[in-house]
Amino acid sequence: MSQHDRTHHAKIATGKGDPQCFKGTADGPPKFKVGDRVRIKHLPDIFYTRCQVYTRGAVGEVAVVTHESPAPEDESFGHVDHSEWFYIVRFKQRDLWPEYPEAFANDTLQTEFSERWLEAA
């Protein structure tokens, strides 16, 4: 990466914004749709990730298919050639935290994942 162009992001994002500048760059259509049940995979994250440990292994429901973008695990090292679909996933709090009180069983939490972290549940 010694020849990395440090103005690359400005060149592609100016006038469009980010993540809009990555529209149409994923390999295909989104693999999951709103309402799909998904499990968060437990992948290695030795260098960088934005996938929180508290969600690993949990099952939730796709709430929004948000946009296409390189995954942070790649983008943080300047690899922006490959994009993925992103999803906001909704979890029941009781499925994330075993001690979450039953009195508040309706409470939920949403957070976002790139497609590599999700598998059908």
Partner 1 sequence: MAHDHDHNAPAPMVEEVSDFEALEIAVRELAIEKGLFSAEDHRRFTEFAEHIGPTPAARMVAKAWLDPEYKKHCLTDAIAASKAVGVDWLNPTGFGTPSDYTDLRVLEDTPTMHHVVVCTLCSCYPRPILGFQPEWYRTPNYRRRLVRWPRQVLAEFGLSLPAEVEIRVEDSNQKCRFIVMPVRPAGTEGWTEDQLTEIVTRDCLIGVALPKPGVTSNIPLPVHRAAKPAHH
Residues at the site binding partner 1, with contacts judged by CB under 8 A: 9-10, 13-21, 50-52, 54, 64, 66-67, 69, 72, 86, 88, 90, 93, 96-97, 100, 103-104, 106-114
Minimum CB–partner distance for residue 79 and partner 1 (Å): 16
Amino acid letter for position 116: R
Give CA separation, 65 vs 11, 61, 84, 103, 107, in Å: 26, 11, 11, 30, 21
Provide the 3-class DSSP secondary structure of residue 88: strand
81 versus 102: smaller Cβ distance to partner 1: 102
Q: Cα(63)–Cα(27) distance, rounded to whole angstroms?
A: 22
39 versus 109: smaller Cβ distance to partner 1: 109
Minimum CB–partner distance for residue 49 and partner 1 (Å): 9
The encoded tokens of residue 56 equal 């690993």
Phi then psi dihedrals of residue 94, to 5 deg: -65, -20
Minimum CB–partner distance for residue 37 and partner 1 (Å): 18
Minimum CB–partner distance for residue 65 and partner 1 (Å): 12
